[in-house]
């Protein structure tokens, strides 16, 4: 009975997300021409290769953290560090790579929850890196929001501002979560105010990294704003609010990057 009801569900938000991605990709290909089209295709292939590497790690390594939170923060730091490196080395191509990553993940979520409706080969690799969707029986909205925020800041803001936003998400939010877990402050619900010691450690980590990378002291203002927002009991996940608030505050204070 339940299986029959499940199969009858019609058009979902996942369908809308996938169709929106495909439409957006076609628009980008039309607007930027053959070179950008080739870049988008190659970026998608690169993302798929990275996911295959994740599968190899899943088969040969133990979990990187003893808890679900630690595994997710591990992915925060490793994935975010790769993005930081990408901003420095490939600033003009990275927005397309971010879009490819978002689109690839949306297609996976559509297959997992909208079409196939069972655990896929990629599900075990994602669970290894801290994805809670198989245990909570829902899409990993936190990852989708984070990828969406990264795509927005890379597309709409200047390079140093986008770099500050990604650094704040990677080192600020990531290290703050690990510090709270170490200090016994970890909060599982994003709607509850988080411990101030973890936020302070994350803020100092972000500030140190952005100064090492750019030497631009004016970027400390959006770093602080983003980490204040990270601690607030907002109804939106901080994977989205931290990078977006960091970039918006740089724009509001007319900080050049």
- DSSP states of the chain as a string? -HHHHHHT--S-HHHHHHHHHHHHHHHHHHHH-HHHHHHHHHHHHHHHHHHHHHHHHHHHS--SSSSHHHHHHHHHHHHHHHHHHHHHH-TTTHHHHHHHHHHHHHHHHIIIIIIS-S--HHHHHHHHTT--HHHHTS--HHHHHHHHHHHHHHHHS-HHHHHHHHHIIIIIIHHHHHHHHHHT---S-TTSPPPHHHHHHHHHHHHHHHHHHH--GGGHHHHHHHHHHHHS--SS-HHHHHHHHHHHHHHHTT---
| Residue 257 is assigned to a structural domain of this protein | no
Q: Within a domain: residue 77?
A: yes
Whether residue 93 lies inside any domain: the answer is yes
Q: Return mean pLDDT, the chain.
A: 76
pLDDT at 182 over 90: no
User: In this structure, is residue 256 part of a structural domain?
Assistant: no
Highest mean pLDDT among 45-54, 126-135, 193-202, 225-234: 225-234
Answer yes or no: is 120 within a domain. yes
pTM equals 0.73
Confidence (pLDDT) at 150: 94
> How confident is the model at residue 10, as a pLDDT?
45
pLDDT of residue 24: 58
Could you tell me the residue range of the domain that residue 22 belongs to? 2-251
- Domain count of the chain? 1
pLDDT higher than 60, residue 191: no
């Amino acid at each position: 009975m339940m299986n029959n009801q499940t199969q009858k569900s019609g058009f979902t938000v996942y369908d809308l997300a996938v169709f929106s991605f495909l439409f957006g990709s076609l628009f980008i290909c039309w607007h930027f021409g053959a070179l950008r089209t080739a870049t988008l295709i190659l970026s998608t292939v690169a993302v798929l290769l990275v996911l295959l590497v994740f599968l190899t790690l899943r088969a040969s390594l133990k979990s990187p953290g003893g808890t679900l939170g630690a595994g997710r923060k591990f992915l925060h730091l490793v994935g975010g560090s790769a993005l930081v490196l990408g901003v420095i080395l490939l600033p003009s191509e990275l927005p397309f790579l971010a879009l490819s990553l978002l689109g690839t993940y949306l297609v996976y979520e559509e297959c997992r929850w909208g079409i196939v409706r069972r655990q896929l080969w990629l599900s075990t690799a994602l669970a290894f890196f801290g994805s809670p969707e198989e245990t909570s029986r829902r899409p990993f909205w936190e990852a989708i929001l984070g990828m969406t925020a990264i795509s927005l800041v890379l597309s709409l803001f200047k390079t140093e501002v986008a770099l500050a936003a990604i650094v704040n998400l990677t080192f600020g939010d990531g290290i703050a979560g690990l510090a709270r877990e170490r200090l016994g402050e970890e909060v599982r619900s994003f709607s509850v105010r988080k411990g101030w010691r973890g936020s302070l450690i994350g803020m100092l980590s972000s500030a140190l990294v952005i100064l090492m990378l750019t030497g631009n002291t004016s970027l400390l203002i959006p770093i602080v704003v983003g980490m204040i927002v990270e601690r607030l009991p907002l109804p939106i996940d901080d994977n989205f609010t931290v990078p977006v608030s960091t970039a918006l505050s740089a724009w509001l204070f007319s900080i050049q990057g």
